Amino acid sequence: MNRYETSRTIKDINGIQRKSTIIFPAIPNSPEDIYIKTTTIERLDKLAFRLYEDSSLWWAIAATNNLGKGTLIVKPGVRLRIPPLSAIQDNIEFVNNNR
């Protein structure tokens, strides 16, 4: 399931094409959530690959934990909520079906 599946392609003022921004709703808490506390510097993409076998799902961990834009790095000592893959897929499907 691709989060860009229904994204429009737009051109910027320089004529460069890109996908439009999609704001995904928050992923609700679930009894299946996993909580981890980082003990070393973590990269969200590597964490997503380890947990979901898909590094492109880093954004779901970032969004779930309000990490914002700018870096894939998470410092040691941060508690992260990791939503189940099924919740991420449901979120993507909801957005794609309602565009």
pLDDT tens for 57-71 read 999 999 899 887 778
Query: With contact defined as beta carbons under 8 Å apart, do 1 and 93 qualify?
Result: yes
Side chain identity, residue 45: D
What's the CA gap between 18 and 96, in Å, rounded? Answer: 18
The model's pTM: 0.77
Is the predicted pLDDT of residue 24 greater than 70, yes or no? yes
Query: With contact defined as beta carbons under 8 Å apart, do 67 and 26 qualify?
Result: no
Helices (H), the chain: 44-52, 58-64, 85-97
Q: What's the half-sphere exposure (Cβ side, CA atoms, 13 Å) at 51?
A: 24
Domain locations along the chain: 32-97
Q: What is the average pLDDT value for the chain, to the nearest integer?
A: 86
What's the CA gap between 5 and 31, in Å, rounded? Answer: 28
